[in-house]
Structures are given as C-alpha cells and as structure tokens.
Structure 1
Amino acid sequence: MRFLRVSRPDGPAFAALHADGQHAILVEGNPFREYTLTDRVAPLEKLTLLPPVLPSKVLCVGKNYRDHAAEMGGDVPAEPLIFSKPSTAVIGPGERIVLPELSEEVHHEAELAVVIGRICKSVPVEDAAEVVMGYLCANDVTARDLQRRDGQWTRSKGFDTFAPIGPWIDTDFDPSAGAAITCRVDGEERQRSTLDQMVFGVAELIAWCSAFATLLPGDVIMTGTPAGVGPITAGQTVEVEVEGLGTLSNPVVAAS
C-alpha cells in the first residue's frame, strides 16, 4: 500500500494510491492506527499532495555510504553518525526548496527514509522491521558553506524546506533488495548508487536511534546519501528517485 496526504476543503486527509498510479482513494481514519478505504477516488493531477507524514523528529545519518564519506574528505564512522532536522524543515512533493540568504552553497543529498509506525524504545536489530510503517524518498538539503563554517550540522541542515519527503509512504518496499537510488537536477543525473551500499542498514539504524531516543509514530529516519552531492540554484528542479519506491520532485527558489 502507498499512503499519501492530500489537501481537502475540510483539512488534510490521508489517501491511498490507486493501482493505476494516477488516482488516489480517500481514506477514513489514520493508517498509523485504524483506517478504511472509501469509494471516493480523485485524479492525482487535481490534488495537492502534502508531506506524507508530519514527524515529531527527523533523525539523519551522516557518511553512511563509503563513497560519500570519501568525497567529504573523511572516513566512514565506526558507529552511525546521527544528527537531526527540526520538523519545520519538512516539505512535501512539489513544494519549493527555499535557498536561504545566509548561504551561498546549498547542496542536494538523495536519501531513502524510513517511517516509524509505533512508539518504540531500545529496539533490537532483529525486531526492527516490526516498528516500520513504510519508506519514502527524501532529500537532505544542506547549506554546505555553513556546515564547514559552523563545525557542526544543526543550522546547515535545519532551515525551513530543507527536508523534502515523499511522494508517499510505501508499506511494501524492501530496502534490502539493493534498489537504485538516484538524484537528478533538471534531468541531469548527479547521484547514483544502490541501497546495499549503505554501511549501516535500516535495522541497525533503527536499533541505534531507538537506543537513545523514543521513536514515535510518524518519525522519520533518513539513511544517508551516496557520492555526487552538489549545488542547487534557484530555478532548478531536484528529483530523488528510489527504484521501485517512487520519485520526489521539488523546485528550487530564492528566498523572497
């Protein structure tokens, strides 16, 4: 099942992607708890898609692909390197990435993200799959110049609009199958790798994060980016695609 959030006259609502990939079936209830599919169907082109989930926190993993660690001039950490983005950084498919006036060098970072399905703490690796609601595409947008200047990553990765996620939550996706992950800017391929190149897998990351933080339904863990990160500028469009999962597309604009 692929769950979306859509804008409705009476407020945001969950929907499920129709088998034809062109329509959405409205959902009553909440897929994190109980829900039913209705008989109301609408074309995707007539819907405004929202972030598929509004997380209480976004936990991210640094240098989780060896080639990206190398291009950043460092070694792969012996343990997962975790940082966070505020929930206010989250935007959905089609929403604008806004380049802040404080930065002159903003980069794209294509990532797979996992959505937590229930409250959990100290999850063993072997039980990690039980707490997963599904997966989505993500872009860990980064002000690279501020990252270098600050010596830590909170500001450089935490601007509003710096956590695009979507286009939907796929509950059946298998991250262990080695799917391709790609980033394109205006159609030009910038990043390409496969998910089996991650140093720490999804189960390890869930175990690691839940060891220090209680994870809540809807929380998002971004799993790291492969090599090829680079600048984005106003007027461009960034696409993050995970094979078999979907494509997340966002235009880039200057701050007004």
Structure 2
Amino acid sequence: MAELKRRAAVLISGRGSNLGALIAAARHPAYPAELALVLSNKADAAGLDRAREAGIATAVVESRPFGRDRAGFEAVMQARLDEAGIELIALAGFMRVLTEDFVTRWSGRMLNIHPSLLPAFPGLDTHARALAAGVRLHGCTVHFVTPGVDEGPVIAQAAVPVLPEDDEPALAARVLAQEHRIYPAALAWAASGAARLEEGRVVLDRPMAEGAFVNPLPGPPGLPTEMA
C-alpha cells in the first residue's frame, strides 16, 4: 500500500524560481510531498502562472489592503491553508515577515530557503555582502522557520566557491543552482520525517557524508602533501 503524501503549500511573492524546482521534484512518484497549493500575497506574481500550468491549485491573499494588520492578513491566509488541508509550508521568495503566533502555529512544519550560509549574511543583498566581505565560500541554507528572521535551525546547506572574477549576478546564479538542489531534498526530508525539529534543533535520520569543501584548494604548489 502506497504511503500517503503530505500536503504542502508553497508561499511566493514573485516569479517562483525555487517553486519550479519543487514542482519538478514533486512529479516523481516516490516524492513524499504533494504540492497542493501555491499561495501568493501578490495577484501578479509570475509564479502563480507556473503553478497553474502545472495543475496546482492557487490562492491569492493580497497583503496590501491589510496595511499593518499582519494578524488579519495571516488569519485569511490560514483559512486558505486550512481549506486545502495543508500540512507543510515552503516559503519561496515570500516577502512578508510573519508574526510569532503564525510561526509558532507552524513550528517544525514551515521551511524557508535563504541565499547565504547562515548564520552569515541574514537579510537582503546577501551576494553583494559576501563579495564585499571577501569570503571564499558562499551558498544557501534551508531552515525551519522561527520567529527570528533567518534564525531557524538549519536543515541543509550547499556551498559554492567565490571566484576571483565573480560579480553579484555570477555568484547569485551559482548559488541559485544549488538552491534548486537542496530545497526539494529538504522538503522531502521534512515530509518523510527524516528531518524534524526536536527541542530547537534539527534531527536528521540520514547518514552524514565525510570530507570537506575548501576554496582555494590546499596548496600552494610545492607544499608537502602532509601539509596540504
């Protein structure tokens, strides 16, 4: 007997680049989550068309009419999620700061992806800030959402090298490719129970890989092997 898939909603505000990766992954019969709803706070979000083309139900809850009434906005949004029987939420470029009450309600069941190796560079303009800081590794993070912005326990991360010739668009493109890899995986782990939140930390029921990613590579040329 096939296991029931957990019903997931993807919340977006724009084009839904990561939404596309999630849709592609969820087409696999063995994927443990069903994308049952794509909800946006903007009626003109391009990702809504992408969802409709994929046959996924969509909903719009405009945030602007609520002004500063975040609780009122979230109450309507929660009603849409309840109507769709949603069990998991994936934030994918959802440009709203959620209230503590809403986040607490979805504790351990709401994921977000952020374009940096958290806790480094929370907030906006992560790629420009990484270049300005001169870091050698940059990347992306999937985490469970907590009331603090970009502070939730980490589920998965992917690192990319920062190359000498990089500008912001080049680095952003390299990071985005990794976002499209780890977000579908992290949602699958959460849906299957392989990643779960326990006492404020993420527990992973999967073997850990060994090794390290170093940039620049150990060297320099001529350095004895045991010192590399």
TM-score category of the 2 structures, normalised to the smaller one: under 0.3
Flag the structure with more relative contact order, 1 or 2, with Cα contacts below 8 A and sequence separation at least 6: 1
- Greater fraction of residues in helix: 2
Q: Point out the structure with max Rg over C-alpha.
A: 2
TM-score between the two structures when normalised by the length of structure 2 = 0.26
TM-score between the two structures when normalised by the length of structure 1 = 0.24
- Greater fraction of residues in strand: 1
